[in-house]
Structure 1
Amino acid sequence: MEWLERVTRLRRWTRGGERDPHKALLLLYAIGQLQRTGYKPIRFRETEQALDLLFAEFGPPKLVGPALPFHHLASDGLWEVATGVGGPCPGADRELLIAGDVHGRLAPAFAKEMLADPVLMAQIVRVLLDTNFEPSLHMDLCAAAGVMPEVAQTATVAKYVEGGLPRSARDPMIRQKILVAYDCRCAFCGYEGWIGNSVIGLEVARLRWWAFEGRDDMSNCLCLCTLHHRLFDKGVLGIVGSGKIIVSRHFVGTTDASRDYVLDLSGRTVRPPQPGFAKPDVRNIDWHTRQVFRGPPRRSG
Structure 2
Amino acid sequence: MLLVMEWFERVARMRRWTRGGERDPHRALLLLLALGDLHRRGYTQLRYRDIEEPLGELLTEFGPAKPASPGYAFHQLAADGLWEVFTPHGTGSPGPDAAALRAYDAAGRLVPRFAKELLADPTAFAQIVHLLLQLNFEPGLHEDLRMAVGLPHEPPVPVTLAANLQGLLPRARPDVLLRQKVLVAYDCRCAFCGFEGWMGNSVVGLEAARLRWWAFDGYDDLSNALCLCTLHHRLLDRGVLSLSSSGTILVSRQFVGTTESSHALVDSLVGRKAAQPKVGFPAPHRNNIDWHVRQVFRGPARTA
Q: TM-score range by the shorter chain?
A: over 0.9
Q: Give the AA of the match of 1:140.
A: D
Write out per-residue CA displacement over residues 239-261 of structure 1, whole angstroms, 9 at most, x where no aligned residue: 01101001000000010000000
Q: 2:165 aligns with which of 151, 160, 166?
A: 160
User: What CA distance in whole angstroms lies between the structure 1 residues aligned with 2:169 and 2:265?
Assistant: 39
Query: How many percent of aligned residue pairs carry the same amino acid?
Result: 60
1:220 pairs with 2:224: yes
Cα 1:95–1:42 shift into 2, 3 Å: same
Write out per-residue CA displacement over residues 109-134 of structure 1, whole angstroms, 9 at most, x where no aligned residue: 00000000000000100000000000
What SS does the corresponding residue of 1:205 show, helix, strand or coil?
Answer: strand
> Cα distance, 1:161 vs. partner?
6.8
1:205 pairs with 2:209: yes
Alignment match, 1:285: 289
Q: 1:115 aligns with which of 109, 112, 119?
A: 119
Alignment match, 1:64: 68
Deviates more, 1:56-65 or 1:282-291: 56-65
Q: Give the AA of the match of 2:226.
A: L
When the two structures are superposed, what TM-score results if normalisation uses the length of structure 1?
0.96
Alignment match, 1:250: 254
> Cα distance, 1:69 vs. partner?
1.5
1:67-216 matches, within 5 Å, as 67-148=71-152, 150=153, 152-155=154-157, 157-160=162-165, 162=167, 164=168, 166-167=170-171, 170-216=174-220
1:9 pairs with 2:18: no
What SS does the corresponding residue of 2:228 show, helix, strand or coil?
Answer: strand
User: What CA distance in whole angstroms lies between the structure 2 residues aligned with 1:123 and 1:265?
Assistant: 39
Q: Give the AA of the match of 1:222.
A: L
Alignment match, 1:274: 278
Write out per-residue CA displacement over residues 148-187 of structure 1, whole angstroms, 9 at most, x where no aligned residue: 2x2x34346334375x453255222111111000000000
Alignment match, 2:29: 25
How many corresponding residue pairs? 297
User: What CA distance in whole angstroms lies between the structure 1 residues aligned with 2:37 and 2:100?
Assistant: 24
1:49 pairs with 2:53: yes
What SS does the corresponding residue of 1:299 show, helix, strand or coil?
Answer: coil
Q: Give the AA of the match of 1:115.
A: L
Q: Give the AA of the match of 1:179.
A: L
User: What CA distance in whole angstroms lies between the structure 2 residues aligned with 1:192 and 1:227?
Assistant: 13
Cα 1:168–1:284 shift into 2, 3 Å: farther
User: What CA distance in whole angstroms lies between the structure 1 residues aligned with 2:229 and 2:68?
Assistant: 31
User: What CA distance in whole angstroms lies between the structure 2 residues aligned with 1:33 and 1:11?
Assistant: 22
Q: Give the AA of the match of 1:235.
A: G
Question: Does the Cα contact within 8 Å between 1:8 and 1:160 map onto a contact in 2?
Answer: no
Write out per-residue CA displacement over residues 89-126 of structure 1, whole angstroms, 9 at most, x where no aligned residue: 11111111000000000000000000000000001000
When the two structures are superposed, what TM-score results if normalisation uses the length of structure 2?
0.95
Deviates more, 1:128-137 or 1:65-74: 65-74
Cα 1:67–1:89 shift into 2, 3 Å: same
What SS does the corresponding residue of 1:167 show, helix, strand or coil?
Answer: coil
Cα 1:234–1:168 shift into 2, 3 Å: same
> Cα distance, 1:72 vs. partner?
1.2
Alignment match, 2:39: 35
Q: Give the AA of the match of 1:52.
A: G
User: What CA distance in whole angstroms lies between the structure 1 residues aligned with 2:9 and 2:284?
Assistant: 34
Q: Give the AA of the match of 2:163.
A: A
